[in-house]
Structures are given as C-alpha cells and as structure tokens.
Amino acid sequence: MNNYTSGEEIFFDDHELIVSMTDKKGYIIYANDVFCKVAGYEHSEVIGQPHNFIRHPDMPRSVFKLLWDRVLAGKSIYAFVKNRAKNGNYYWVKAFVTPIIENGEIVKIASYRRPISQFIKEEISKVYSALIEHEKYNKLEDSFQFFLDYLAERGITYDLFIDRLSMNKSISNVGVMNIDFDQFYIDHVIFKHNIIYAAKEKKWSTEVVKPCCCRFGVSLKQLDSMPFTAHPSWGKVHQYHNEVHSLMQEYLEKASQDAASNVLNEILDKVENDTKLLFSNLHNAIDTYR
Ligand SMILES: Cc1cc2nc3c(=O)[nH]c(=O)nc-3n(C[C@H](O)[C@H](O)[C@H](O)COP(=O)(O)O)c2cc1C
C-alpha cells in the first residue's frame, strides 16, 4: 500500500459522479471511470482491493465505524471523506453509501460521491483533526463516543451535522439555534415585575434568583465552551446579566429600607438599560457565527 501523501489536492467536476461498489466485506467489485480517473488507478488495479486501499491518514476511524455500523444495519449514510490517490495526492468527496438488499440480505454496498465546497473542507477538517487527535490516545469505542458527544454538545445529530455543512453553514453555533433567547428576555422582564410587586406587597423575604440559577444563567453556563464565547461581547453578556440580578437584589433591599422613590426608579432604569445591553451583546456575539 502506498502511504505517501503529498498534500496536493485533486479536483473533479460538479457534474461528475464517482461510483464504486463492494461486497459485504468492503472488497471492490465495481468502480466507474471517474473513480479510476480521479484516484489515478487502472480498473484492473482497483477491482478486488479492500476499499481502505484509498484511505487517507487524515480520516478518523470513528467516521468509518459509523459508516459500517449503519450500512450493516441496512441503512444508508452520507459522509465527507478525504481519499488518497495513487500518486499520494488527495481529493474530498461527499459520499452516499447504501447497502443493496435482496431477499432481506445485503448483497453489495454502493457508494456515490460528489465534490464538496471549500467551506465544507475547512469545517470538516477541523472536526476530523480533533477526532484524529483523540483517536491517537484512546480506544476506538471511546473516540466514537467522543464524536457523538462532540455533536451532542453542539445540539445536533450526525445527520443534521451533514445537512448543515452541506448547506455551507457552520456547526459552531447550532446549539444556540435551539435556544429561545427572546423567551429569556421576557423571563427577565417578568423577573423585574415580580420584584417590584414583592416590594409593593412588602414581601421582603422574597428570594431574588441568583444569576447562576435562572434559566438563562443555566444556558449561559452550557454555552461557555462554544467558539463564539471568544467574542469580546460574551464577557459583557455575563457582566450585564450579573448586574441585572444584583440590581434587583439592591432594589428589594432599598425598598425595605424605605428608600426615596427616585433612588428606586434609578435602579429600575439601570435594570432596563442593562437588560437591553445584555441582549444586544448576546446577539452581537452569536451573529458573527451565523
Ligand atoms: C461501498 C463502500 C465505499 C467505501 N468508500 C471508501 C472510500 O472512498 N474511502 C475510504 O477511505 N474508505 C471507504 N470505505 C470504508 C472502508 O471499507 C474502510 O472501512 C475505511 O477505509 C477504513 O479502513 P480501516 O478500517 O482499515 O481503517 C468504503 C466502504 C464501503 C462499504
């Protein structure tokens, strides 16, 4: 097997389709002309080879585990794959791999491949490098779990991950898409009204929710490992959120001490202002990753 990889990329056209078929064990039984042209092999060199003969070392084992798990369970799968050509160059594909089933038995497996965009190549390379690094020091089962966790942390399944990248959209912030930030804004408006009401009713023992414990605070914590939290606005999100909660605490304390109404109103004005700043900074941080 030729293990030399030069790093030169081979491109093929949008209208071209690379096709191969294997038996149940992954030995190639068919390859079309485009396959041979792009990979740089003669037909005779391809037929009978195990499909890993074009495997590129930048491909994580976890991806192939998922591919084989799915296919042997009788299901199809899409995967972004970097392959190695005979001369050591490489080419990227989006593969659709599907078992061909006759009388309830898998008789062969087909793969159809199209080219992918530069954006996908860059995004998927980041994911695959992280997986490869993990696989260097861990058992395949553990790395596979790491892959699933990696996706879960971003709020997506493998199939959604493929779909989203296929639309040339980043996966860095998908988890954020599942969060209803407008609801959190409303939560804080309600929170403010509850405290004003508690003061009016002289319910001084009313507990002011701590920033770590409101629903938004819990979500902020979960999001703290996301790439967009490197944005300078993210620190301000935390800062204004903490301020809103401590101002409400101060409001209740001052009200219990019979503070003048202009002092109380000043606090409420600050709360309103900080809440607005909190959410504008939040959108600022997230929008850069949309
Ligand atoms: C139909 C079919 C097509 C495949 N196409 C490729 C491919 O293009 N490149 C690749 O590296 N592996 C491909 N594989 C997966 C290989 O069989 C193998 O699992 C993979 O190269 C990893 O090799 P390894 O298990 O020796 O590490 C394909 C498998 C099937 C069933």
Map out the domains of the chain as residue ranges: 18-166, 177-287
Which of 51, 80, 83, 111 is the pocket-test mutation for ligand 1 (most atoms within 8 Å of CB)? 51
Q: What are phi and psi of 29, to 5 degrees?
A: -115, -15
Angle at alpha carbon of residue 14, lines to 10 and 15, rounded to 5° = 120
pLDDT value for 134:
95
CB 281 within 8 A of CB 236: yes
Q: Which of 36, 64, 100 to mutate to test the pocket of ligand 1 (most atoms within 8 A of CB)?
A: 64
pLDDT (0 to 100) of residue 1: 43
Cβ atoms within 10 Å of 242's Cβ, excluding its own: 16
Burial of 244 (0-12, 13-18, 19+ CB in 10 A): buried
Q: 61-72 vs 140-153: helix axis angle to the nearest 10? A: 90
Give me the sign of the Cα torsion angle 90, 95, 100, 101.
Answer: positive
**Which pLDDT does position 2 carry in this prediction?**
44
CA of 14 to the centre of ligand 1 (A): 22
Q: At what angle do helices 232-256 and 261-287 cross, to 10 degrees?
A: 160
Q: Measuring from each residue's beta carbon to the nearest atom of ligand 1, which residues come in under 6 Å?
A: 20, 22, 26, 51-52, 54-55, 59, 61, 64, 68, 71, 81, 83, 97, 109-111
Count of beta carbons in the 10 Å neighbourhood of residue 164: 17
Per-residue pLDDT of the chain (290 residues; tens, 9 = 90+): 444 556 899 999 999 999 999 999 999 999 999 999 999 999 999 999 999 999 999 999 999 999 999 999 999 999 999 999 999 999 999 999 999 999 999 999 999 999 999 999 999 999 999 999 999 999 999 999 999 988 877 767 899 889 889 988 877 656 555 567 778 888 899 899 999 999 999 999 988 889 988 888 888 887 776 767 778 898 999 999 999 999 999 999 999 999 999 999 999 999 999 999 998 998 888 776 55
pTM, to two decimals: 0.68
Strand (E) or helix (H) holding 275:
helix 261-287
The predicted pLDDT at position 222 comes to 73
For the domain 18-166, what is the CATH superfamily, name and number?
Answer: PAS domain (3.30.450.20)
Cβ neighbours of residue 284 closer than 8 Å, sequence gap 6 or more: 231, 233
Give residue 237's pLDDT. Answer: 92
Distance CA 102, CA 121 (A): 35
**C-alpha 194: how far from its chain's center?**
37
Identity of residue 265: N
pLDDT at 218: 84
What pLDDT sits at residue 118?
96
Q: Whose CA is nearest to atom 23 of ligand 1?
A: 52
Tokens 């008789």, located at residue: 107
For 6, the token pair is 């030069």
Ramachandran angles phi, psi of 155, nearest 5° = 75, 25
**Cα dist. 212→245, 274, 275, 283 in Å?**
10, 17, 16, 20
